[in-house]
Amino acid sequence: MERLTINVAGLLQEASGTARRLEIDDFYPHWDEILLVTPISGNLELYRAGKGIVVRSNLSTSIELACCRCLEPYDQRIQVDFDEMYFPVVDLATGSALRLEYDDIEPEFLIENVDRLDLTEAVRQHIEISQPLTPRCQPECLGICSECGADRNSLLCNCEEQAVDIRMAPIQEMLQQLGQNTSA
Ligand SMILES: [Zn+2]
Ligand SMILES: [Zn+2]
């Protein structure tokens, strides 16, 4: 499914404290800016609380990122854990409008349609903020050689050794001269 929607009509009519758990295994949205390599899966816990519903997300997925050191694409595991509270705009028992009571609540946390509490955007935002600032294909990624451009994870070039040799050359020469002087 491309959207993560939940029917909360039943839960909204339950007493505060009522919990419900849902397994999610085939949420596979298509987003331009996030490339999912596996469906988003895990579980959602919903709690009836006060006038609304608390949604606890325990979801995870893998997205494709480019390593900041070697620039190669790799699969990054992302944990989508959050707690958010959602409020219905209509009291299901009386049918009266509740919207005015929630003047200070962001529209995305209002339940406009009890058949379709849509968590797609909430999940997208949490994946976005959960991305590492410096993505790495592996913790010890060796990156790209600044001399020859080789990916040093797969090809160990000799540039670094040669660079060390060049830097050491004058010192070695000096040491040689010192050796000659003292032996003379
Ligand atoms: Zn890398
Ligand atoms: Zn190199």
- pLDDT tens, per residue, the chain with 184 residues: 999 999 999 999 999 999 999 999 989 999 999 999 999 999 999 999 988 999 999 999 999 999 999 999 999 999 999 999 999 988 877 888 887 777 788 888 889 888 889 999 999 999 999 999 999 999 999 999 988 989 998 888 888 666 556 666 777 777 777 777 655 4
pTM for the full predicted model = 0.79
pLDDT for residue 53 = 95
Task: Tell me how many degrees the CA angle 20-26-31 measures, rounded to the nearest 5.
Answer: 110
pLDDT of 179 reads 74
Q: Which ligand is nearest to the CA of 147?
A: 2
Ligand 2 center–CA 147 separation, angstroms: 5
Q: In the structure encoding, which two tokens stand for residue 98, read together?
A: 């509740």
How much is the pLDDT for 104? 82
pLDDT at 183: 52
Please list, in sequence order, all residues whose beta carbon lies within 8 angstroms of the beta carbon of residue 29, skipping any fewer than 6 positions away.
Answer: 2, 3, 4, 36, 40, 120, 123, 124
pLDDT given at position 97: 83
Average pLDDT, the chain: 89
Ligand 1 center from residue 11 Cα (angstroms)? 46
Identity of the amino acid at 96: S
**Ligand minimally distant from the alpha carbon of residue 148:** 2
| Amino acid, res. 72 | E
Are 25 and 58 in contact by the 8 Å Cβ rule? The answer is no
Query: Which residues lie at CB < 5 A from ion ligand 2?
Result: 145, 147-148, 150, 157, 159
- The predicted pLDDT at position 163 comes to 58
Cα 138 to ligand 2 centre (Å): 20
